[in-house]
A = this chain, B = another copy of it.
Amino acid sequence: MPTISVDSGSVKIECKPGQSLLDALLDANVAVDNPCNGKGTCGKCRVKVVSENPVAPTETERRLLSAKEIEAGVRLACMVKPETDMDIVSMHRERKHEVLTTGLLPEFEYDPDISKRTFTIERPTLEDQTPFEDQACAQLGVDALSAEVLIDAGLVPGEFTAVFHDGEVVQIERGDTTDELYGVAIDIGTTTVVCELVNLATGEVLADASQINAQKVFGLDVLTRITYELEHPDNGIANLRKVMVKSINGMFDELCEETGIPRNRIYEIAVGANCTMMHMLLGVDAHGIGKAPFAPAFARAKDLPARAIGIEAAPGARLYCLPHVSAYIGADIVAGAYVCDLHNVKNNVLFIDIGTNGEIVLSKQGQLLSCSCAAGPALEGMNISAGMRAAEGAIEEITITEDGNQFAIIGGDVEPQGLCGSGILAVLRELVRCGFVRKNGAFVKLDRLPEDDYRRKMLIEHEDGKRSFVLVDGAEPMLVTQGDVRQVQLAKGAILSGFMALLNKAGIGMDDLDQVIIAGQFGAHLTASSITGTGILPEEVEDRIVYAGNTSKTGAYMALMSGEVKRGMERLAHEMDYMELGATENYERLFSQCMMFPDVSKRKEG
């Protein structure tokens, strides 16, 4: 059995034959991050191999690690199956400091709304019977303490610490607790919720936790959940809030257990989310978002006591909900625009978050115009014959060659189980590139292909005349059907038409666009070649694409660390224009033009 020496030999462990390094480390209680439980999707179980390592990095590692990291010997523990002795360095602690740098994080000054100051209640004398509140106020420089703060404070002669929020005392604690100052940044996606425990004094991210959005039991997308609200007028809104708050409290448990920080030392929670998720977190009726003409109950930032909705943190903890622009340009997008500094750029930058709804923000030299495209769930693997979520066995990349299909599969060397979102786009890109699918979205007819064309054996024709592409052959072949292609076509048409409408409205040509920023957890998995190869975005922008990561969470983090950032986001949300595509002239025509797949013949010529 190979021996693994960890951290200069501070721990030595044996690795069983065929066992992954991750499992060996976990068996030996060596701390290693493992959010996806070894599925090769999260890229967080990093270790640095300092001895010689004869095994080349897998495709998964190449995707999830940077070239620089691989150069430095960084590997994913879940992908490495040691065959010889190895010296490794655990990256567990180091990673904690790195979490945020996995996405874009601009420089900004730390000045959180939450701060602490100590004060002392003196024992009264017959000559000086100043009430305890007045003693506190004089030392803290405030006019009064709220009744709620007083009720929890338990003031007696002695030392105390006041927790300030934006200049107001929100909590009083016994003794000097100035060293303990924590907050949580949350991104509530329709699918996934991510929490990050932050040391407000240093800006350090101490731990993170994530869960599938617990509201999924009430529907996978926002419209289904709004329908649930409408169909359950008595308790629908309350139920949606309840499961979300419970899930957040559960993640707080994890964060606190992992770090040993008590939850009553968490003083502010900042949330980035789309507009529907924010309504459903607070328990505000979201039905106005559910059908055209769309109007949310609220779009402004909200600041409230966290306990008002049942979040279990410090008794005086605040909940800051980032501002929205409209029903379908939510706080997640406002956060992204702010994080990417769109309001300050001097050139023309387009920001896009691809998902069930594609949100696009165009910055024309700092002037912001946005739209939202109802792409539908196809891009995330829903309503696709072989669709599945990004889990073990999901095809995430494909190359079609004359000799067959070459796959990259989540989990590595396992049987393909289906297509996740990035896989679907990759397949479509390949089908278009290889001429299986024509510009209008129809599969090429078999009789149009030469007798010896390799594509003939990859296509089957059904009894009804429709054709499908054979993704994986076998007794029950895995197919990509004409219907699947249509689903993707609708999605890509929706996004591309939004993109074009924004450029048209702003009077900007394709050549004037300097940068395209792909944001969001889903977008991070889409390659530039898939995005332009399927025509979601035009070919011309392929080399201008950059990735910004989870900018919603980053925006929440920044709001937590700076009151000025909050004000800046609120101004940005107020100043960003929104364009309702459905109300745009000739939108229907633009949409049908944008349904066209790229013209490969032209591309080859170009």
Residues on A lying within 8 angstroms of B by beta carbon are: 123-134, 144-148, 150-151, 153-156, 282-285, 287-288, 292-300, 302-304, 308-309, 319, 321, 326-327, 578, 580, 582-583
The answer to whether A129 touches B582, judged by C-beta atoms less than 8 angstroms apart, is no
Residues from chain B with Cβ under 8 Å of A578 in the complex: 129
How many copies of this chain does one complex carry? 2
Q: What is the minimal beta-carbon distance from A501 to any residue of chain B, in angstroms?
A: 14
Nearest B residue to A324, CB-CB: B131
The answer to whether A295 touches B132, judged by C-beta atoms less than 8 angstroms apart, is yes
Nearest B residue to A583, CB-CB: B126
The answer to whether A146 touches B304, judged by C-beta atoms less than 8 angstroms apart, is yes
The answer to whether B151 touches A284, judged by C-beta atoms less than 8 angstroms apart, is yes
Nearest B residue to A326, CB-CB: B129
Given A129-B326, A295-B132, A285 contacting B156 (CB threshold 8 A): yes
The answer to whether A288 touches B147, judged by C-beta atoms less than 8 angstroms apart, is no
Residues from chain B with Cβ under 8 Å of A309 in the complex: 151
Residues from chain B with Cβ under 8 Å of A147 in the complex: 282, 284, 302-304, 308, 319, 321
Which are the 9 A-B pairs with shortest beta-carbon distances? Answer: A124-B295, A126-B583, A133-B298, A147-B304, A147-B302, A131-B299, A126-B293, A124-B293, A129-B295
Given A148-B308, A282-B151, A285-B155, A300 contacting B124 (CB threshold 8 A): no
Q: What is the minimal beta-carbon distance from A288 to any residue of chain B, in angstroms?
A: 7
Complex CA–CA separation, A296 to B150 (angstroms):
12
Residues from chain B with Cβ under 8 Å of A129 in the complex: 293-295, 326-327, 578, 580
Can you spell out 23 A-B residue pairs with CB atoms less than 8 angstroms apart?
A124-B295, A127-B583, A129-B578, A129-B580, A131-B297, A131-B300, A132-B298, A133-B299, A133-B300, A134-B300, A144-B300, A145-B298, A146-B302, A147-B319, A150-B284, A150-B297, A150-B298, A151-B309, A153-B284, A155-B288, A156-B285, A156-B287, A156-B288
Nearest B residue to A130, CB-CB: B295
Q: What is the minimal beta-carbon distance from A304 to any residue of chain B, in angstroms?
A: 4
Q: What is the minimal beta-carbon distance from A168 to any residue of chain B, in angstroms?
A: 14
Residues from chain B with Cβ under 8 Å of A288 in the complex: 124, 132, 155-156
Residues from chain B with Cβ under 8 Å of A150 in the complex: 282, 284, 297-298, 302
Complex CA–CA separation, A319 to B151 (angstroms):
14
Given A145-B298, A154-B285, A308-B147, A580 contacting B126 (CB threshold 8 A): yes
Most buried by B among A127, A130, A296: A296
Q: What is the minimal beta-carbon distance from A564 to any residue of chain B, in angstroms?
A: 19
Complex CA–CA separation, A304 to B130 (angstroms):
23
Complex CA–CA separation, A148 to B154 (angstroms):
26
Nearest B residue to A279, CB-CB: B150
Complex CA–CA separation, A294 to B130 (angstroms):
9
- A126: which of B130, B155, B292 is its contact (CB, 8 Å)? B292
The answer to whether A297 touches B155, judged by C-beta atoms less than 8 angstroms apart, is yes
Q: What is the minimal beta-carbon distance from A500 to any residue of chain B, in angstroms?
A: 19
Q: What is the minimal beta-carbon distance from A580 to any residue of chain B, in angstroms?
A: 5
Q: What is the minimal beta-carbon distance from A236 to any residue of chain B, in angstroms?
A: 12
The answer to whether B151 touches A283, judged by C-beta atoms less than 8 angstroms apart, is yes
The answer to whether A299 touches B134, judged by C-beta atoms less than 8 angstroms apart, is yes
- A293: which of B125, B144, B583 is its contact (CB, 8 Å)? B125
Known: A126-B293, A129-B294, A133-B300. 20 other contacts (CB 8 A): A124-B293, A126-B583, A127-B580, A128-B293, A129-B580, A130-B295, A131-B295, A131-B296, A131-B299, A131-B327, A132-B298, A144-B300, A146-B302, A147-B282, A147-B308, A147-B321, A151-B282, A151-B309, A153-B284, A155-B285
